[in-house]
Amino acid sequence: MAQLCEGRVAIVTGAARGIGREYALMLAEHGAKVVVNDFGGARDGTGGDPGPADEVAEEIRKAGGEAVANGADVSDFAQAKAMIDQAVDTFGKLDVVINNAGILRDRMLVNMTEEEWDAVIRVHLKGTFAPAHHAAAYWRDRSKAGEPVDARLINTSSVSGIYGNPGQTNYGAAKAGIGAFTIIAARELRRYGITVNAIAPGAFTRLTSDLREFSEEDQERSSPRHVAPIAVWLASEESKDVTGRMFESSGSTLAIAEGWHRGPSHEPVKDPTQMGAAVAEMMKTARKNAGMDGKDLD
């Protein structure tokens, strides 16, 4: 089998279970040296256990690959920096960061607590920013020193963020923010040889297992291993011309989600009493927001 990532060094956050684990294993299968990051918390972010990350790293080594475990809290700025440093110190360089770590604290808006909001925003948004910041600074310095850079930032969004899912204002807001972060960072970093893309995965994991009923057939079709191929390809040198994109990936879908575009327009209205007619005119031809399947709502 051709190895897409031979010799590349990758960090995968949240890599002890679910989608992140499949990313780490498939990257190693394709020749990457992997830093397996996982704080080891529960699905709501509480607790911590280094064991699961150690187990995935050991699984990779037993299969003949190279991997080390890392237990950093990716939302901690200093710990995220130490994780980047560990990759460089251990393997001599860094080529790929996949920001995958996440938690859930689902609640309807009127019942959501401040702590439930803050925890989800911190892990998802700051947990994307902190590793991305330190990795991008490392790659920028290499580029300015005249070294060739062909680096990848791969972030994790969600259909909940790009299309909207009731009960997840915190999670959806964070995932939508990661979409905007991806587009902006892609524009900023391309000059240094860095591409930035995002994946909105669909999979049966411990985060999603209680969101709806999954039959045995559903679980197979929704296995997280179906998401890993797009991540491995994006991590490879083959993807160097693709940046600023959002990919939906699951056992039943592979698609590019297109971002906001300006729709119907009207001449500016100065009198608010005339605004209703202007909005009604635009609404006649405005495309409806998408549902969770990415298609127009009825």
Residue numbers annotated as active site: 158, 171, 175
Residue 7, number of CB atoms within 10 A of its CB? 12
CA atoms within 13 A on the CB side of 61: 11
Paired sense of beta strands 67-70 and 194-201, if any: unpaired
Contact yes or no for 3/232 (Cβ under 8 A): no
Query: Which residue spans within 136-215 are E strands per DSSP?
Result: 151-156, 194-201
d(CA 265, CA 109): 31
d(CA 70, CA 38): 6
The closest of 159, 163, 173, 180 to 227, measured between CA atoms, is 159
Paired sense of beta strands 151-156 and 33-37, if any: unpaired
CA 251, chain centre distance (Å): 17
For 208-235, letters b (16+ CB in 10 Å) and e give beeeeeeeeeeeebbbbebbbebbbebb
The closest of 137, 133, 244 to 192, measured between CA atoms, is 137
222: helix, coil or strand?
coil
For tokens 């709502």, the residue is: 297
d(CA 135, CA 143): 12
Contact yes or no for 260/162 (Cβ under 8 A): no
Residue 243 identity: T
